[in-house]
């Protein structure tokens, strides 16, 4: 029988874990079968999903050991053993999810400063992850002293509350960095506005993971001040919010990778932006533009993230802006006499800028591409 106090944990944990599992399966299916390009971030998110399933399994064992009800002194070692097992699995799922998001950002945000920052941030995450996972496993030495102290096993343990709250604070800080850093760069991308808003909203959804971390911090405080006999009851809130935090992070990390699948299933919904002739729109990172040159690509078929799979004709238009430098000279300056005695300016009549646009179109029969070169003088003299 599931205690009434633990029933919300069972329902919430099963729902969020199932949702994350479906999203991750859709992501992996998209990467394997649609674009046929699996990256390191996909392997990391799959490992995070396995850790999330492991966390759910251990929470069920924890409920069996007494989570959600008052436990006796004899049941305490079994409950503490299950509690000890949930902590490293929780930390492992979180760090794998953060690594997946960081690698994904590294693949998308190609500016030199961002690449350098993300490489350093990956090192920080690896060190932080090793500390949280290994520190939670070896919180006591010998390890069984964590749950078997009531059975006479003695050992040396770190301060549980100090370790728990410091790890929670670092977890919230790393969440804030992952949310705050990519969003301004995404907003600077020169892509259609609708796609820009969607990307910012998807990455900004990570703020919900920050909120769940803060709520979980409150639950940690409540269990920290509760007497030992009440910790099995207070631990229900931690089981709920820890599972939500893990799976919301996994979902937010996986949603951007589902775009090719959505385009394939509902082409009219997203490809309309690709067919729109928005002036100056091109795909690239902030700071990576080619000043004065803009390109537009229109594809009737599907276009994959890896640059393959365009089977239909592609029309490309290149616009070149031409700049002219002009000088101001005094009236009468630079005049010279011609052979017949008339005065004229130094070839100024020959170098007047025309006010009309000059367009030349070249068509290559093999590739089926049309290139238009447009000369646009910015000022007319």
Highest-confidence segment of 42-46, 159-163, 165-169, 255-259: 42-46
For 4-265, CATH number out of 1.20.1070, 1.10.12, 1.20.120, 1.10.10 equals 1.20.1070
Which secondary-structure segment (H or E) carries 180?
helix 160-180
Average pLDDT over residues 55-81: 92
What are the residue ranges spanned by the domains of the chain?
Answer: 4-265, 273-377
Cα–Cα distances in angstroms (integers) from residue 23 to residues 68, 247, 258, in the given order: 30, 10, 9
- pLDDT for 218-233, tens place per residue? 888 888 777 777 788 8
Strands (DSSP E) along the chain, which ranges? 140-141, 156-157, 293-298, 315-322, 335-337, 343-345, 358-364, 369-377
Position 246 scores a pLDDT of 95
Please tell me whether residue 327 adopts helix, strand or coil conformation: coil
Query: What mean pLDDT is reported for the chain?
Result: 75
- Identify the pLDDT of residue 187: 72
Question: Which of 305, 318, 278, 245 has the alpha carbon at shortest distance from 98?
Answer: 245
Q: What backbone phi and psi angles, to 5 degrees, belong to 159?
A: -65, 115
pLDDT of residue 329: 54
E runs forming strands in 112-235: 140-141, 156-157
Model-level pTM? 0.70
CA distances from 153 to 157, 158, 301, 323 (A): 12, 16, 67, 82
DSSP 215-259: HHHHHHHHHHHS-GGGHHHHHHHHHHHHHHHHHHHHHHHHGGGGH
């Amino acid at each position: 029988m599931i205690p009434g106090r633990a029933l919300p944990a069972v329902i919430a944990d099963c729902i969020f874990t199932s949702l994350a599992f479906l999203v991750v399966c859709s992501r992996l299916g998209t990467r394997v079968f649609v674009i046929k390009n699996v990256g390191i971030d996909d392997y990391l998110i799959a490992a995070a999903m396995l850790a999330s399933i492991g966390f759910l399994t251990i929470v069920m064992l924890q409920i069996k050991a007494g989570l959600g009800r008052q436990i006796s002194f004899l049941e305490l070692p079994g409950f503490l053993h299950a509690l000890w097992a949930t902590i490293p699995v929780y930390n492992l799922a979180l760090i794998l999810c953060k690594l997946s998001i960081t690698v994904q950002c590294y693949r998308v945000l190609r500016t030199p400063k961002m690449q350098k920052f993300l490489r350093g941030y990956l090192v920080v995450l690896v060190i932080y992850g090793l500390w949280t996972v290994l520190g939670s496993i070896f919180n006591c030495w010998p390890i069984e002293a964590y749950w078997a102290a009531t059975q006479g096993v003695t050992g040396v343990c770190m301060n549980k509350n100090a370790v728990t709250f410091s790890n929670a604070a670092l977890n919230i800080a790393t969440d804030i960095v992952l949310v705050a850093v990519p969003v301004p760069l995404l907003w600077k991308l020169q892509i259609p506005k609708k796609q820009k808003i969607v990307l910012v909203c998807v990455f900004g959804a990570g703020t919900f993971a920050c909120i769940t971390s803060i709520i979980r911090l409150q639950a940690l405080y409540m269990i920290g001040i509760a007497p030992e006999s009440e910790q099995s009851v207070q631990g229900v809130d931690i089981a709920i919010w820890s599972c939500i935090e893990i799976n919301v992070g996994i979902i937010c990390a996986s949603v951007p990778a589902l775009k090719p699948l959505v385009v394939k299933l509902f082409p009219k919904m997203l490809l309309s932006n690709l067919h729109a002739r928005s002036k100056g729109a091109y795909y690239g990172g902030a700071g990576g533009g080619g000043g004065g040159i803009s390109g537009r690509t229109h594809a009737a078929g599907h276009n994959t993230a890896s640059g393959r799979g365009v089977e239909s004709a592609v029309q490309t238009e290149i616009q070149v802006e031409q700049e002219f430098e002009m000088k101001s000279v005094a009236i009468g300056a630079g005049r010279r006499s011609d052979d017949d005695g008339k005065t004229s300016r130094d070839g100024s009549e020959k170098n007047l800028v025309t006010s009309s646009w000059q367009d030349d179109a070249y068509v290559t029969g093999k590739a089926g591409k049309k290139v238009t070169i447009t000369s646009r003088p910015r000022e007319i003299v």
